[in-house]
Structure 1
Amino acid sequence: MRYRAVLLVSGLLLLAACGTTTQSSDPSASQSPDMDLLLTAEDFPPGYEVVQAKSDVGRAQQQAVDGRAYQPPECAALFANQARYTKESRRSGINAVDPDQPSFPRYSNTIIRQAEPIPHRREVVNRCGDNTATIPGQGTMAMATQQIAAPGDVKADDTLVFTFSTTFQPDPGSNALRSQRRTVIGYADLPGLQIEFYEQVDGFGSEADMTSFNRLISSAVRQASTVQ
């Protein structure tokens, strides 16, 4: 499989600091044996290209959290704690995009070692899944979250799946545009590792393709279970 760097953000960063992106490649990621635990281009719809995800997102996540004011205020500490978990984890991942169809869903599949425990992720979603972040000099980002059940054929020690929308409202006088993004993201624990998989679409009125998400997260868990 051929990998190349791309400007895409991890699902973890999406929750704690939605709207932030990271860039540059990580040459060591393609050498990780965990890359064999990930989905390949053949698993995604025709036209999708598989690209290497950046593995070191903890610093960008921390910077984004530090630069925002949250309501409820307690979310700042919870998101900062998430960023610490991210910095201490080891991540190997891919993203799948259709370069000719930017409105199509984007997918991400990541293997995480030393991951944030799913019970802590669940606590963050329960307490701060609905929040508003003020981004100085830019605008506000409102998030609304709903937990959903994992597909029945996902076999894991623990799972967490939720959908969320983020709506950006620019400050008056800003050149930025109002925008909305919808994401469905799932985590599954296997012995010694955690699987993160998400699907993301942009645009008001857009909806995640739950049929594709359910099929692909099931395949991602099955792939990691079979290979490891």
Structure 2
Amino acid sequence: MTTATAADRITAPPPRPIHGWARLASAATVGGLLLGVLTNLAQGWLPGAWNQLANSGAIWSAVAFIAGALLYRNGPPAQAAAAGLCAEVGLVVGYYGYAEFGREGMGQLFFPLVWLGLACVAGPLFGIAGHWWRGAPDARRRVIALAAFAGLFGMEGMVYAWDLHYDAQAWTCLALFILIPLLMARRNADRAWTLAAAVPCALLAYAIIELPLQRLSA
């Protein structure tokens, strides 16, 4: 029986990065699948209009944001983007997969494909946003990341207030829109800049995401 010498340890090749990426993608996908099933179930558990929050775009994008934030020390932003993508795709597949096999069916394939397309955009973006929030050395990227994240809840609040007329849910989203910058930013200056930047982010998200979805649903 032999043991590795110091020279052997020094000259031994490092583990291939692909293994880490595969584990990361697998964990993010499985987590997304489980959360997708959970959001589908939560729509039946939550009372009244509160069930709309279970599978809202803001809640789903928060999963990618959290995945990116958890990886801020373990790899480059590209890994956070990959984790966000896998998590969001897993959410869509888990949600509609449970609807198909655990309920009465998911209906037409059109909307799952629409949400899958949105997941491929939102997942990497908010994965990087989470990574920036935790790991970016400059305040500008941290402000951009948090403003985009808070803007999603601002968009949801506008949907509930203007389109669905659900007052309680609108106020809840508005509270999150304000609390995210106040609680998650590091300095008072960052909080002020994040709140200011979150307003146009919310309006832009409403214009480019929610309005087209309403036209598709009509």
Shorter chain as denominator, the TM-score bin is under 0.3
TM norm structure 2: 0.27
Which is strand-richer, 1 or 2? 1
